[in-house]
Structure 1
């Protein structure tokens, strides 16, 4: 079964498009991608198929009947409109498909990594691209009787009996064979698209899926300036589907840590702004650092030109687009929009209930880390939502909940999310080792372990994460004699990461639970040790002002509380002074379990856990370290034997 984007064809599709979409989905190979009406350079081809052994094929789908056709030739077709009988002139569908695939090919030829560098086909795309037409209400015999094959050659046509699985003449083998033959230039030795090639094609054609890439110096080729790009990263197809097909009106996305929830939300914000340029769109989250990171991510998406090749042709570029999306953390938005603090909220809600207050209206509201939003916050936001659009997207992970929800979403928002929720279960952020380690800790310590399910919309359910195949080292557990020794170990490992793995400082974080106690000022020791070793750092959580100044790409090690690191990630994370967890002054231990889980899942590749005292969590880590040592001893004994 092929992967499709969107996952399900929208209701606006014609019956013929729906038929072809479902047939391709069921009868093309699993590693093929089928796009329905993607917007590419201002055009919307009906279907675009990408397959490793296929290349790229564009299809135009028409529901014309024999009585619809009045006059046809190589260029234009005159159609008789059903009902009115009015004559309409349209472009030959063959030429429509051809023009669309040429537009796509010309776009992709500007990337030097996608073209043939030498030989007979120098300058052409290194993979095949073709096009064809599908006539869903005419059979092959109709084409023969009407002489239509004289206008469009048979190899570029699929008829009803070739795409309708209920027709006795349908054959999966013939369908695939015909799609493989829709090329004006055919080669017996067809180039196989690699995963990197497909990433690059999606990166160029669909701006919403872009995450990052390395832009190297552009190169000249046959007097043409070409992009040179490496390490391209795009959303995976499940995330892309989620962003494109969240659907209209209110929606809920539940996802595990590292599943790309924030990325889906940011992409969704851009899609909404693009489709509805007159909408007022609000994005909110709980923490200040995450709000700054979100704002920078969304602004980057708007500053980046739709056509990446404008990056090397400044003369044709219109410059960065203004980001029309408002991004705040909740308390900042409350001050900005109402000039009030949270304690005044009940009074405002009473006034809204009595229709005595005027509130700002938003056509779309998107909430990240929604599990930490209080019921009163959600009720206020519901009052600010345009009742005609009801476009509220709530993104959350209950395993990362710092504050437990007391009532149901329906009560909090006035909206029923049943049938409107989606789940992201795959952790793309962390290595399999980190995912397994963090989840085993959570299952051991969380009181909610009996609530683990893929479950209902309301209630408290935790989604178990599925790891990707990305692997790395096991999390490092280090018991030390004191905090000074901890920081000596941390700074030495930071130097190794920078020297041996080339990890930039901005991709390293030191996370702590408490700043100081009556016994010691941990943050002062962290700062002194980093200063002593000449390691640049940014203490994000020094003050509200330092949180607002936070810039993700500044080349400094980030020092933060675990709370404020929510929604962020780093290649390497050091969780220090773990004996202060669970913190004895906190009544609800479940919050501490969630915090520790959050801290561990901030690490993409390398996780370090250090401590020098005793607590419930350090005892657990001691047990894990002892089991590791025993396993290593047994393995060594077997090798010696």
Structure 2
């Protein structure tokens, strides 16, 4: 039987957080001495926590280990008791004393154990289930006597836990050097524990499986022949426009083209409409091996209005910038006033103090106005390069219609659009239902529907569910569905950090986040009621975060996830329908399966929902629904 190690050994040298020498010693020790049924998870994404190791055995239980490479002679350590509080870990060097309490392994490991029991394995039996979890600390390069002396006050304070030494081992280098697995992990060689159920195993495993986005970050970008040609070439004029259906690789081409140009020593500006899309593009660009540099730092990545603000502030027009938002409605200021001010500033710049670029690349171009494009052209160097990618089918801001043939001629383009027609992202069953939705509900003249690759059999499993609800039930049903996915083990290798919730409005989204939070489920989201804080949340939103993701349908444009729960309220206007189509096309195929659930409160879409493989109506009153929970 081959042991499961995640991430696999072949990927360990590519981890963003490299293994320390001590962690490598411990990994080799566990792999040598543990029976093969014990699965080893390295630095797992655990609801925002990152323990060094978690061990999982479907027949025996769970273990979490913290590894400390500390040299107790290199720094003076002290654990000082405090009244009515846990003892504090202090360090002292060059006469200065400082707190290391946030890194106190005794406190940290007990926190891991408590959360595993209370949150990640909700179906473990009360009290008895707690004994299934071992929480250990390993010092690979320190002797046991000074370790015992140093942490004596901490273990004494936590005596209720540490009276069970077999469940809370603390070991030094002697145990590792002596290949003493039963001292390091007393339950390692036990064969069976009836308290460990299949439900508990699946609950824990879904928290431990490496998120898809983390694994992808270590792999080179995969592109087809047509995409590669677009990435590695330019037109004679330097202007190129690309359109294509959802999942056809438009953003992939743009991000890798940016990285390719960086490798050629070019100065590159990448502009989006959505703030949140920036991280996604950066995650693609870093995977292009020909970049020749640091794509995150050496390419300028900004959303359009942030770029406008930067020009205003750096050129000394801060007061004019602020005045825009006191004299005009914010929407008018962003749509008209700020771009116009930015254009005037660039026109007045006779000394080239405004940053110019060899290439300006614009993603989600259907969300831009032609006037914005014209302003960006002003900062493209002579003989530079401009790229616009778009999908009019995802026109949620109703701006695509402004891009008339006449406007295109005045924007520097010649010839036809380059069209990408093959969708590599969408599972075949999702492609079918998304296309049916577009044909039924979206303007036919702007449709750009995805096609499957030639020979695609659509063998990857994909779970599709449609839940029809009343609006007053949205919070409860969405929360219930997210929790169902965290305990169902379907898909079997779904990592919770890959789970994404999308809402058409911030209010419902915020209520769902609070509901999950009350159950201990941590979520990175962009729903804060405060607009300024929401903007900060968008800047910090990225798929590599170790928590469940939650944002609006607007903010997830251009992104992808293998596990989506989408909420749409009681709306059937053109914008809401375009939003739902955008959401449907965000799901990504995966060899081990993907899942998409729509929670819909619009009666006008119920008949469409009934065409899905799994349809359920929950249109009860909130009082009736609560009695069923």
Give the TM-score band, short-chain normalised. Answer: 0.5 to 0.7
8 Å CA contact 2:308–2:338 kept in 1: the answer is no
How does 1:136-147 map onto structure 2 within 5 Å? Answer: none
After superposition, residues 120-131 of structure 1 pair within 5 angstroms as: none
The CA distance in 2 between the partners of 1:528 and 1:464, in whole Å, is: 36
* Corresponding residue for residue 116 of structure 2: none
Give 1:427 deviation, angstroms. Answer: 0.9
Q: 1:280 aligns with which of 267, 271, 276?
A: 267
Q: So what's the TM-score if we normalise by structure 1?
A: 0.52
Q: What's the CA shift for 1:240?
A: 1.8
In structure 2, relative to structure 1, the CA distance for the partners of 1:555 and 1:247 (3 Å cut) is: same
Q: Is the 8 A contact 2:243 2:418 kept in 1?
A: yes
Q: Are 1:493 and 2:493 counterparts?
A: no
Q: Which runs of 5+ in 2 are unaligned?
A: 1-211, 314-320, 322-332, 529-533, 589-593, 618-629
Of the three residues 550, 556, 578, the one matched with 1:594 is 578
SS for the counterpart of 2:562 is strand
Alignment of 1:175-574 (within 5 A): 234-248=222-236, 249-275=238-264, 277=265, 279-299=266-286, 301=288, 323-339=297-313, 340=321, 342=334, 343-349=337-343, 359-389=354-384, 391-403=385-397, 404-405=399-400, 406-408=402-404, 411=407, 414-419=410-415, 421-446=417-442, 448-449=443-444, 451=445, 461-468=446-453, 469=456, 470=458, 471-473=460-462, 475-480=464-469, 482-496=473-487, 501-516=492-507, 522-542=508-528, 543-574=534-565
> Per the alignment, in what secondary structure is the counterpart of residue 357 of structure 2?
coil
Query: Once the 2 structures are TM-superposed, how far is the Cα of residue 535 of structure 1 from its aligned partner?
Result: 2.3
Shift of 1:591: 2.0
Shift of 1:473: 2.9
Computed over aligned residues only, the root mean square deviation of the Cα atoms, in angstroms, reads 3.4
Say which of 570, 573, 587 aligns to 1:580. 570
Deviation at 1:289, TM superposition (A): 0.6
**How much has 1:620 moved relative to structure 2?**
3.1
Residue 501 of structure 1 deviates from its aligned partner by: 1.9
Deviation string, structure 1 residues 195-218 (Cα, Å, up to 9, x no partner): xxxxxxxxxxxxxxxx999599xx
Residue 417 of structure 1 deviates from its aligned partner by 2.4
Indicate conservation of the 8 Å contact 1:514/1:580, yes or no: no
Q: Deviations over 1:291-326 (max 9, x none)?
A: 132234334547x997xxxxxxxxxxxx96874211
What's the CA shift string for 1:457-485, capped at 9, x where partnerless?
xxxx4322102423433521123462254
Q: How far 1:544 moved relative to its partner?
A: 0.4
Matched-pair contact (CA < 8 Å) for 1:575–1:610: yes
CA distance in 2, matches of 1:440, 1:348: 42
Matches within 5 A, 1:25-174: none
SS of 1:426 mapped into structure 2: coil
Instruction: Tell me, in whole angstroms, the C-alpha distance in 1 between the residues paired with 2:505 and 2:557.
Output: 16
The answer on whether the counterparts of 1:491 and 1:533 sit within 8 Å (CA) in structure 2 is: no
Return closer, same or farther for 1:626/1:269 CA change in 2, 3 Å cut-off.
closer
Shift of 1:539: 1.1
Change (3 A) 1:283 1:409: farther
**How has the CA–CA distance of structure 1 residues 551 and 235 changed in structure 2, closer, same or farther, with 3 Å as cutoff?**
same
Measured in 1, the distance between the counterparts of 2:271 and 2:605 equals 32
Structure 1 counterpart SS, 2:396? coil
How many pairs were matched up?
Answer: 366
Residue 590 of structure 1 deviates from its aligned partner by 2.3
CA contact (8 A) 2:392 2:447 kept: yes
TM-score normalised by structure 2 residue count: 0.53
Cα-to-partner distance string for 1:41-69 (whole Å, 9 max, x where unaligned) = xxxxxxxxxxxxxxxxxxxxxxxxxxxxx
How far apart, CA to CA, are the structure 1 residues paired with 2:291 and 2:382?
33
**1:281 and 1:362 in contact (8 A); partners too:** yes
What CA deviation, in whole Å up to 9, does each residue of 1:262-285 have, x standing for no partner?
Answer: 11111111111222x1x3210000
- Check conservation: 2:278, 2:302, Cα contact below 8 A: yes
The structure with the larger Rg is 1
> Quick one: structure 1 residues 523 and 240, their matched pair in 2 at CA, closer, same or farther if it must change by over 3 Å?
same
TM-fit CA distance, 1:413: 7.5
Contact 1:537 1:558 in 2 (8 A): yes
Instruction: Quote the Cα distance in structure 2 between the aligned partners of 1:539 and 1:262.
Output: 23
Question: Could you tell me how far apart the structure 2 residues matched to 1:213 and 1:626 are?
Answer: 30
CA distance, structure 2, for counterparts of residue 417 and residue 355 of structure 1: 26
Q: Classify the secondary structure of the residue corresponding to 2:505.
A: coil
> What are the Cα deviations for residues 404-454 of structure 1, in whole angstroms up to 9, with x where unaligned?
2324365368344232531111111110111111111111011x21x2xxx
Q: How far apart, CA to CA, are the structure 2 residues paired with 1:413 and 1:280?
A: 26
- In 2, the alpha carbon distance for the partners of 1:624 and 1:581 equals 20
SS at match of 2:356: coil
Tell me: higher relative CO, structure 1 or 2? Use CA pairs within 8 A at least 6 residues apart: 2
Note the residue ranges of structure 1 that are not aligned, 5 or more in a row: 1-210, 217-228, 307-318, 452-460, 517-521, 583-588, 630-641
Q: Say whether the 8 Å CA contact 1:581–1:617 is kept in structure 2.
A: no
CA shift in 2, pair 1:490/1:416, >3 Å: same
Q: Which range moved further: 562-571 or 395-404?
A: 395-404
Query: How far does residue 374 in structure 1 lie from its aligned partner after superposition?
Result: 1.5
Secondary structure of the equivalent of 2:569?
A: helix
Contact 1:382–1:414 (CA under 8 A) maintained in structure 2: no
C-alpha distance in 1 between matches for 2:304 and 2:516: 33
Q: Distance in 1 between matches of 2:523 and 2:213?
A: 24
| 1:79-120 deviation line (CA, Å, top 9, x unaligned) | xxxxxxxxxxxxxxxxxxxxxxxxxxxxxxxxxxxxxxxxxx
How far 1:355 moved relative to its partner?
8.0
Is the CA contact 1:504–1:555 (under 8 Å) kept in the aligned structure 2?
Answer: no
